[in-house]
Amino acid sequence: MTWYETAIQILLIGLANGAIIALVALGYTLVYGIIELINFAHGDVFMLGTMMSLTMMTWVPSLLGVRRASQIPEPLIPLLVIGTLLVAMVACALLNMTIERLAYRPLRRAPRLAPLISAIGVSFILVNLGLHWKGASPVDFPSPHPSLNTDIFRDILRITTPIFFTVKDLFVILLAAPLMIGLSLFVTRTRLGKAMRATAQDREAAAMMGIDINQTIALTFLLGGALAGAAGLIFGLYNNTAWYLQGFRGGLLAFTAAVLGGVGNLQGAFLGGLLIGVIAAASDFLFDPRWTQAVVFGMLILILVFKPTGLLGEATPERA
């Protein structure tokens, strides 16, 4: 494999993994942009999204009288994937909104450390929920169809190349990109999105203008949870595994992506996720996977030393 083929392979793998990180990072940056809270439980909401998707992928085939998702009639497989995606997004959205209502809203006027400790406590609760749900060991996530592992270059395009890029990699990118675009359009073009931006800039002034602050913050958690649920399904399909501790590493990388791109900046969070995915893939390939986290956080420190607000700048409230 030549150097440019290696670079393309690293880029393709990094973009697929980075897209998953970016979806989780969007939830972090949404919440921080509105109430300046680091929601440490968000990574575990993402983990439960994978668990919910796994349950759907095993429960629906059993209802149809088959053992595996791949044994379902082909016309029904897209319906299974879309249905699982919707269930995971709705379940995680409602879970995230419930967490905000019970654990964060009563502490909104408390010292900033109180909701932070509450977020850590909620994280432990969700981790133990995942532990009791699927057990302590990683479990297999069934692939709905063998064609997801088909190599696009060799098997579909008939191009002889050492570069490996599967339908599953393309699926991850094509699903994550519209979600990011749709979120950006929602925040910038809709009335509720404008209410979210107004609340982020000045909560008291927004309330005086008739904006329901509690409803707006709940909507923010709802959107963040929905994205985490989508990321949970994508993670399971891409890695074919689910584990109750996956939310810790995934959440840590996602939070790093949000900081790297600029906390509160949606485009920055997505860019940060893709960049971390590419750098992690390069570290895995060129060095050793055991060094990957050190490389990622070393890069974060280096960038923040020269640009403390992140690559695209932190979305801070505008003050007169």
Distance CA 165, CA 85 (A): 23
Tell whether the model's pLDDT for residue 51 goes beyond 90: yes
The pLDDT-based confidence of 313 (bands split at 50, 70, 90) is confident
Distance CA 139, CA 207 (A): 47
Higher pLDDT, 123 or 308: 123
Reported pTM: 0.93
Distance CA 272, CA 137 (A): 30
Q: Which pLDDT tens digit goes with each residue over 253-304?
A: 999 999 999 888 889 999 999 999 999 999 999 888 889 989 999 988 998 8
Domain segments of the chain as ranges: 3-135+164-306
The pLDDT-based confidence of 314 (bands split at 50, 70, 90) is low
Mean pLDDT computed over 26-39: 89
> What is the per-residue pLDDT for 166?
93
Higher pLDDT, 74 or 255: 255
SS3 140: strand
* C-beta separation of 150 from 167 below 8 A: yes
Tell whether the model's pLDDT for residue 163 goes beyond 80: yes
Q: CB under 8 Å to 89, separation ≥6 — which residues?
A: 49, 225, 226, 227, 229, 230
Distance CA 274, CA 58 (A): 31
CATH classification (class only), 3-135+164-306: mainly alpha
Q: How many contiguous H segments (helices) and E segments (strands) does the chain have? A: 11, 2
Residue 32's identity, in one-letter code, is: Y
- Residue 99 in tokens: 């967490």
Break the chain down into helix, strand, coil percent, rounded to 5. 75, 0, 20
Q: How far from 299 is each of 211, 253, 255, CA to CA, in Å?
A: 40, 12, 14
